[in-house]
Amino acid sequence: MNKKHFHNLEKIFKESPTVNLNKEDKIVIFSDIHIGNGGRNDDFLQNSDIFETILLENYLEKNYTLVLNGDIEELYKFSFKNIFSRWKKIYEIFELFRNQGKLFKIVGNHDYKIYYSRTHPVNKQLHRAIKLNYDGNLIFIFHGHQTAGLFEQYSTFISYLLKYLAVPLGMKNGTIPLDSEKKFKTEIRSYLFSKAKKIISILGHTHRPLFESLSKKDDLTIKIERLIRKYPKADNTKKRKIEKLIKKYKLELENINEKDNRFFLRSGLYDEKILVPCLFNSGSVIGKRGSTAIEIKDGKISLVYWFDVKRSQRYLDYKGVKVKQLKGTDYFKATLKEQSLDYIFTRINLLA
């Protein structure tokens, strides 16, 4: 990895505060909310109801600590004044967490200007990253744009381009995402840094969920391979079930491949001979059908997906996925992946 990129992460790592994490603690990490002005170019608008509801009725109610891991406000396109004016209820909820000492707000590239002009109470205590100390092992939470370095140097220029070019054209963050090569570079630099440090890193920025250094594409590929290995020894009934699952996973994989360019298809963290499970990504709140997050509780880490059953039913009957409805709502939480932190750190310490 380029020494400059390593130096950027090393500096942020050393300067970030450390918070003790016990098995009794509960933490939820959201990133890439991109709160706008409530207009047609506001990416947050479509998932605002579900986000507000799960914060208030699930995470606050259940005494979680809320970590907002960058790109909370969409300041490339909108002023904080207009954002706050439209979404006062969201900031009131953030304030409820803060008043209980259960809010950590980390800056990303789209909301980096707030770091220098903290005009609202919820923005007074901002971080570029935080570390969680879990029984002597560290979990490093940062947005992810720091792997490039240029975002912080040229954030004002990028903001100008988006505000005066992208917004008038009606372009949303979903239509101008990081391309696959940049996603890969962000992930591989973060992975190599985490592996060298023997830590867990949790980032956002790419809008691409990762769990134990695996993307959904990697996970589906592994699942298909495992099913193929089971197929020859299975009886006819099990073979039909395996065929059905392979067909389902293959279709999902093809849909993912259509979205990624050739660079990303031939490049991936999984190319390593021994993959170290040190990299996680919370995805984003502004997905087309729902929002992803990382949860830590009871000594376990999970990748979860919140969705409105009126918009999506994909995970209602999905093998290996636990689904639970939020009482009195149409909102469901699917636990896509879950693993013990002790087990993950054991693997990191032995494999890195």
Per-residue pLDDT tens for 8-25?
A: 899 999 999 999 999 999
- Quick one: residue 283, left, alpha or beta (phi over 0 = left, psi -120 to 50 = alpha)? left
The class level of CATH for 3-213+276-351 reads alpha beta
User: How far apart are alpha carbons 149 and 295 in whole angstroms?
Assistant: 28
Q: What is the mean pLDDT of residues 244-252?
A: 85
Residue 296 contacts residue 27 (beta carbons within 8 Å): yes
pLDDT given for residue 251 in this prediction: 84
Residue 310, classified by CB atoms within 10 Å of its CB into exposed (0-12), middle (13-18) or buried (19+), is: exposed
| Average pLDDT value for residue range 234-246 | 88
pLDDT computed for residue 267 by the predictor? 44
Residues 261 and 106: their CA atoms lie apart, in Å, by: 30
Q: What percent of the chain has pLDDT over 70?
A: 85
Name the pLDDT band for 259 (thresholds 50, 70, 90). Answer: low
Structure tokens at 338: 């879950």
Rounded distance between C-alpha atoms, residue 339 and residue 352, angstroms: 18
pLDDT, the chain, mean: 86
C-alpha–C-alpha distance, residues 337 and 219, integer Å: 10
Lowest-pLDDT range of 72-76, 233-237, 302-306: 233-237
Query: 8 near 153, Cβ under 8 Å?
Result: no
pLDDT at 175: 38
- Write the single-letter amino acid at 271: D
- The DSSP element (H or E) to which 10 belongs, if any, is helix 3-15
Out of 108-122, 296-310, 314-328, 332-346, which region has the weakest mean confidence (pLDDT)? Answer: 108-122
Q: Where are the domains of the chain?
A: 3-213+276-351, 216-271
Instruction: Tell me the pLDDT tens digit for each residue of 22-41.
Output: 999 999 999 999 999 999 99
Worst-scoring range by mean pLDDT, 60-69, 134-143, 168-177, 279-288? 168-177
Q: pLDDT over 90 for what percent of the chain?
A: 59
Amino acid present at 11: K
CA distance 306 to 289: 9
Q: Where are the alpha helices (DSSP H) in 146-261?
A: 150-153, 155-161, 180-197, 216-230, 236-259
Q: What is the mean pLDDT of residues 91-118?
A: 91
Q: Are residues 186 and 125 in contact, defined by beta-carbon separation less than 8 angstroms? A: no
CA angle 347, 351, 352 (to 5 degrees): 110
Q: Is residue 155 scored above 80 in pLDDT? A: no
Q: Mean of the pLDDT values across residues 123-134?
A: 93
pLDDT at 265 over 50: no
What is the model's pLDDT at position 331? Answer: 98
